[in-house]
Amino acid sequence: MDLETIKSRVHELQEQLTRYNHEYYVLDNPSVPDAEYDRLMKELIDLETQYPQFRTTDSPSQRVGGTILDAFQKVEHKTPMLSLGNAFDEQDLRDFDRRIRQAVGENYSYVCELKIDGLAVSLRYEDGYFVQGATRGDGTIGEDITENLKTIRSIPLRISESLSIEVRGEAYMPKHSFESLNKAKEERGEMLFANPRNAAAGSLRQLDPKIAATRNLSIYVYSIADAGSTGVESHSEGLNLLDTLGFKTNNERRTCETIEEVLAYIQEWQVKRPDLAYDIDGIVIKVDSFDQQEELGTTVKSPRWAIAYKFPAEEVVTKLLDIELSVGRTGVLTPTAILEPVQVAGTTVQRASLHNEDLIREKDIHIGDYVVIKKAGDIIPEVVNVITEKRTGDEKEFNMPTHCPECESELVRLEDEVALRCINPSCPAQIREGLIHFVSRNAMNIDGLGEKVITQLFKEKLIEDVADLYTLTKEQLIQLERMGEKSADNLVHAISQSKENSLEKLLFGLGIRHVGAKAAKTLAQHFETMDKLKEATYDELVAINEIGDKMADSVVTYFSQEEVMTLLGELSQYGVNMAYKGPKLVTVSDSNSYFAGKTVVLTGKLEQLSRNDAKAQIEALGGKVTGSVSKKTDLVVAGEDAGSKLTKAQELEIDVWDEERLLEELNK
């Protein structure tokens, strides 16, 4: 055959096998026997091996697993992957429905979907081609697992339209794949996976994609990251668009007009749950209309327009062998139940939190008791109650200590708190936990510095506070257990890179009481430098929106300590950035921008900017972007296929711009 004929045959095979893949893995309706599929795949691989110039990135042959990776690269999600708030009973759902009704009125509907028990992932396409896949991570930063995701045959390597789009979904392991995998592991004498979710997560975090390719994973795609840019106006329309583009969505979804219909859907699937070919752990309920979603907004962690109903947890009985105490970074003493190992909701449980002394007294828990254990929301093990009739008299009452188990300092119970607390700032447990928090993903995000490495460094007296991290050398690190030269090099590089973090990362990492990640960003954005923040007064702090009395008092107290000033001086000396690097706050008084003080609504599909980019740029120039048009709206930017918002803007005689006019003003 001449080259043109070979090229044509390769293209024909690629198209044919892509269609067969879609029929088998997405539609569950294969049109050819497996033997015919395998024969055509072998022909394609042979031709592409002999003529690699005709191999394309979206070829079905690319699903067998690519090059082995050294490590996963970090990926920043342009649109955060928020987690969902949970509902555990009917009243939680009715309360959710009441909040929705109070916010948007009587005219709304829900989309109910099965909550797949897997690993949340993000898939990014450019001009129709799959270019990157990532884990959810902390919602802002995930890990690049593109090569592993390519091995999932229900993920299209090329969608049916030349769109640049990001979608979210749940990668999972079907029950039959899980059973086959564990059977093979058992035959090889290897440790078994506890449940399909752990197996899916472990498969997608393999550095060798060929391993992931053998695990027979699948995916259900459930949303578009910036759905408004596609022109669709509701979640249900977005799911239909995903179907059209060639993605696998879950067909068991249902649109419900009332909360009663939602409750009936939940009851139906609680009964049918065991018959599914995959694990689910609940039902996701979302407000359908995108306009209403925007009006409802989000909190720092989760959208207000969605909730996850978690199925009632499985309860089992086991023996409480002991109660162990640990000291957290804020000095709080936490008791933990040590249990006889028991299977709960598919995983082995050996520990459960007891929270505080009051809970132990309230539930009359003794060491040696038989207790009922469940997983709250199928995740966190907790002690439900004691089976007192099984007591023999050998059980021992538990009493909290009067002194810290780590440093022997006297424990105190602060006013209005139930927890006992160690207030010794030199307590080694608090310092160690503070170090672990400092390097964590939401804080300084030092890759490779996990709890085990921090514990080793602390034990070897190589670090005593966070500033000591920046003095570590490769020679010191290489002496640690399981630390090779390459790992030591990578860790030194990661520590050095963390010096460039924006101020809010450092603020959160320092562990100032009551200051979470969002508050840290608010403070960093307002004061811009550490020097200005540490001089801030209580009155200046409480004047900031979102900063309350307790937080302001905590910040002032923190920066009044001499040891804190010494620590900040050392960090600055080692080159750690002390300034905010994000978009600055702009007020009406100090901005000449057109947008300063104006309320803007974005609607329809923008071609050159994503909606999030446009929003960020407008807000950086002092504007406020909202989701609904009202008399208070100053400007509506209408992209392609703008719908009801544009109509309402015209009725209210509000200024309407197209994208070109917006870009012109942004570029000034």
Q: Measured between alpha carbons, how far is 296 from 85 in angstroms, rounded to an integer?
A: 14
Q: How many CB atoms lie within 10 A of CB 148?
A: 29
- Write down the H helix ranges in 441-511: 451-459, 474-477, 485-498, 503-509
| Residue pair 347/194 in contact by the 8 Å Cβ criterion | yes
Please count the CA atoms within 13 angstroms of the CA of 556 that sit on its side-chain side.
14
Q: Measured between alpha carbons, how far is 525 from 548 in angstroms, rounded to an integer?
A: 17
Q: Give residue 566's identity as a one-letter amino acid code.
A: T
**Token digits of residue 532:** 């200005």
Q: Measured between alpha carbons, how far is 199 from 192 in angstroms, rounded to an integer?
A: 9
**Token digits of residue 433:** 């936990």
Q: From the centroid of its chain, how far is CA 653?
A: 41
CA 58, 59, 65, 70 dihedral sign is negative
* Angle separating helix axes 428-438 and 451-459, nearest 10 degrees: 140
550 a catalytic residue: no
Which string of b and e fits 361-391 if b means at least 16 CB within 10 Å? eeeebbbebbbebbbebbeebbbeebeeeee
* Residues 270, 275, 276, 279, Cα dihedral to 10°: 60
Please count the CA atoms within 13 angstroms of the CA of 611 that sit on its side-chain side.
27
**Checking phi first, is residue 644 left (phi over 0); if not, alpha (psi -120 to 50) or beta?**
alpha
| Residue pair 604/642 in contact by the 8 Å Cβ criterion | yes
Cα separations in angstroms, 537 against 384, 541, 552, 565? 46, 6, 8, 16
**Token digits of residue 545:** 């929106």
* Angle separating helix axes 196-204 and 175-187, nearest 10 degrees: 80
Q: Measured between alpha carbons, how far is 655 from 638 in angstroms, rounded to an integer?
A: 10
CA 223, 281, 117, 25 dihedral sign is negative
């309706």: which residue's tokens? 29
φ, ψ of residue 472 in degrees (nearest 5): -65, 140
Cα separations in angstroms, 585 against 149, 273, 443, 482, 667? 39, 49, 22, 46, 18
Q: Measured between alpha carbons, how far is 574 from 257 in angstroms, rounded to an integer?
A: 59
Q: From the centroid of its chain, how far is CA 272?
A: 29
Q: Measured between alpha carbons, how far is 202 from 225 in angstroms, rounded to an integer?
A: 25
φ, ψ of residue 570 in degrees (nearest 5): -65, -45
Nearest-CA neighbor of 320 among 362, 363, 359, 373? 373
Q: Measured between alpha carbons, how far is 362 from 299 in angstroms, rounded to an integer?
A: 33
- Beta bridge pairs of residue 306: 286
Cβ neighbors of 2 (< 8 A, separation 6 or more) are none
Write out the E strands in 272-314. 280-287, 306-310
Q: Which of 74, 78, 115, 310 is catalytic?
A: 115
Q: Which residues are known catalytic residues?
A: 115
